Amino acid sequence: MSVPLKKPIEEPHVGDVDVTMRMIGANARAAARILATIGAIEKERAIRAIAQAVRAATPAILAANGEDVTEAEKAGATAAFLDRLKLDEKRVIAMADGIDTIAALPDPIGTVMSAWDRPNGMRIERVRVPLGVIGIIYESRPNVTADAGALGLKAGNAVILRGGSDSFRSSRAIHAAIAAGLSGAGIPETAIQLVPTRDRYAVGLMLTGLDGAIDVLVPRGGKELVARVQTEARLPVFAHLDGNCHVYVDKAADPAMAQSIVLNSKMRRTGVCGAAETLLIDRDAAPILLLPLVRMLIDAGCEVRGDRNVQAADPRVKRATDEDWCTEYLDAIIAVKLVDGVDEAIAHVERYGSHHTDAIVTADGAAAEKFLGRVDSAIVLHNASTQFADGGEFGFGAEIGIATGRLHARGPVGVEQLTTFKYRVHGSGQTRP
CA–CA separation, 45 and 394 (whole Å): 25
Could you tell me if 360 and 339 are in contact, meaning their C-beta atoms sit under 8 angstroms apart? no
CA–CA separation, 404 and 148 (whole Å): 18
Q: Scanning residues 393 to 422, which ones bind a second copy (CB under 8 A)?
A: 393-395, 405-408, 410-411, 420-422
Of 378, 376, 408, 391, nearest to 237 by C-alpha is: 408
Q: Which residue's CB is nearer to a second copy, number 228 or number 410?
A: 410
- In this structure, how many other beta carbons lie within 10 angstroms of the beta carbon of residue 4? 7
Q: How far is the CB of 366 from a second copy (least distance, A)?
A: 14
Q: Which residue's CB is nearer to a second copy, number 14 or number 36?
A: 36
Q: Which residue's CB is nearer to a second copy, number 52 or number 362?
A: 362
Q: How far is the CB of 37 from a second copy (least distance, A)?
A: 6
Q: How far is the CB of 178 from a second copy (least distance, A)?
A: 25
Of 46, 58, 111, nearest to 87 by C-alpha is: 58
Which residues have CB under 8 Å from 190's CB, separation 6+?
Answer: 27, 28, 30, 31, 158
Q: Which residue's CB is nearer to a second copy, number 118 or number 223?
A: 118
Could you tell me if 68 and 173 are in contact, meaning their C-beta atoms sit under 8 angstroms apart? no
Per CB under 8 A, does 257 bind a second copy?
yes
Could you tell me if 221 and 208 are in contact, meaning their C-beta atoms sit under 8 angstroms apart? no
> Can you tell me which of 25, 132, 142, 306 binds a second copy, judged by CB under 8 A?
132
Could you tell me if 217 and 137 are in contact, meaning their C-beta atoms sit under 8 angstroms apart? yes
Q: How far is the CB of 370 from a second copy (least distance, A)?
A: 9
Per CB under 8 A, does 260 bind a second copy?
yes
Q: At what angle do helices 223-232 and 200-208 cross, to 10 degrees?
A: 50
Q: Scanning residues 188 to 227, which ones bind a second copy (CB under 8 A)?
A: 215-216
Q: Scanning residues 361 to 390, which ones bind a second copy (CB under 8 A)?
A: 372-374, 376-385, 387-388, 390
Report which residue type is found at 183. Answer: S
Q: How far is the CB of 5 from a second copy (least distance, A)?
A: 32
Q: Which residue's CB is nearer to a second copy, number 267 or number 286?
A: 267
Per CB under 8 A, does 40 bind a second copy?
no
Could you tell me where the DSSP H helices lie in 268-315? 286-299, 308-313
Catalog residues that contact a second copy under the rule CB under 8 A. 33, 36-37, 116, 118, 122, 124, 129, 131-132, 215-216, 231, 234, 236, 254, 257, 260-261, 263-265, 268, 350, 372-374, 376-385, 387-388, 390, 393-395, 405-408, 410-411, 420-432
